[in-house]
Amino acid sequence: MSRKIYQLIVIALLLIVAISCKKEPVAGVKLEERFITLAVGRTATLTVIIIPDNAANQTVSWESSDIKVASVDNGKVTAKAVGKATITVTTQDGNFTAICEVTVLQPIEPEMVLVEGGTFTMGCTDDECASHELPTHKITLSNFNIGKYTITQKEWKAIMNFNPSYSKDDEKPVTMVDWNDIQSYIQKLNTLTGKNYRLPTEAEWEYAARGGNKSENYKYSGSDNVDEVAWYDGKTYPVGLKKPNELDIYDMSGNVFEVCGDWYGVYTDAPQTNPTGPATGTGRIARGGNYNNMAFYCRVVSRVSPKNLKAQNAGFRLVHP
């Protein structure tokens, strides 16, 4: 009796395997990615799903609506030129299709300047100190790269496809952007380039503005004469028109306030290494500002925490490790 039971169990298992392995007709096809954005020259591989997963024929064909913009080879999409293209995948019988909309951009990466690491005194040492610029404290930083210029409207438009700035000019800093706008720009730039751009920390910003390890201890970024290095009449101007600082970085005094990555926090006299500011806060730090005929805010130590970063005199520059 036990042998017969064993045989029945084996037969039942074989039937289960046979049923589970039975191939079904194709009922549909879809792509995991419906929309992708690529930089010119970069690639992405689309993932196709045949429904059901045990369909009798898994063969599909691929087609691009514009091979000059984006080509496709067995699911691998290559971005060729700025524009839009539709990638279509079709089952072998021609009954089912799925599409992915591809946007191809040509990002303009910021020109960067290497800032060699070192130790410096952060905070106010001149005769115009505000209380929130004190006490001075020792900061040690590792090497980093920082933008030679603030991000321009041209650079912003190349990725975001709109220009929010108050005073429009491709070579002027982009303005009227808040924290979330800036983070969206950085995320898209990093996705397109495969890099890791970010906002500078407040300490990195001040160290670079002071001229890093080439610092001459100027009051403003690159000079003790504010008019040599800064626009501060409340307007914005094309980047790079004034004298650069010791590291060949432009406009870290004047033109626009520059948003940093840190939450606003009070200084302490404790030495720090690569600080990133408080973990939380009510406002972000902005540095190097531009007020109507007020050179005070152009000093390398000046710091503000505006209630609204989306202003006509606030922009940003980027750091890359």
- pLDDT tens-digit map of 109-167: 999 999 999 999 999 988 889 999 999 999 999 999 999 999 999 999 999 999 999 99
Give the pTM: 0.84
pLDDT, tens digit (0-9, with 9 covering 90-100), for 51-86: 998 888 888 999 999 999 999 999 999 999 999 999
Confidence band of 21 (pLDDT split at 50, 70, 90): low
Maximum CA pair distance of the chain?
A: 105
**What per-residue confidence (pLDDT) applies to 7?**
56
Q: How many residues does the chain have?
A: 321
What fold, for 112-320? paralog of FGE (formylglycine-generating enzyme) (3.90.1580)
Report, as an integer, the average pLDDT of 89-112.
Answer: 94
Q: Which two tokens stand for residue 192?
A: 């397109």
A 10 A CB-CB count for 22 gives: 9
Q: Percentage of the chain with pLDDT > 70?
A: 93
What fold, for 23-105? Immunoglobulin-like (2.60.40)
pLDDT, tens digit (0-9, with 9 covering 90-100), for 214-253: 999 999 999 999 999 999 998 999 999 999 999 999 999 9
**What per-residue confidence (pLDDT) applies to 23?**
65
pLDDT at 10 over 60: no
The whole-chain average pLDDT of the chain stands at: 91
Report, as an integer, the average pLDDT of 7-11.
Answer: 51
Higher per-residue pLDDT: 57 or 258: 258
The domain limits of the chain are 23-105, 112-320
**What per-residue confidence (pLDDT) applies to 2?**
62
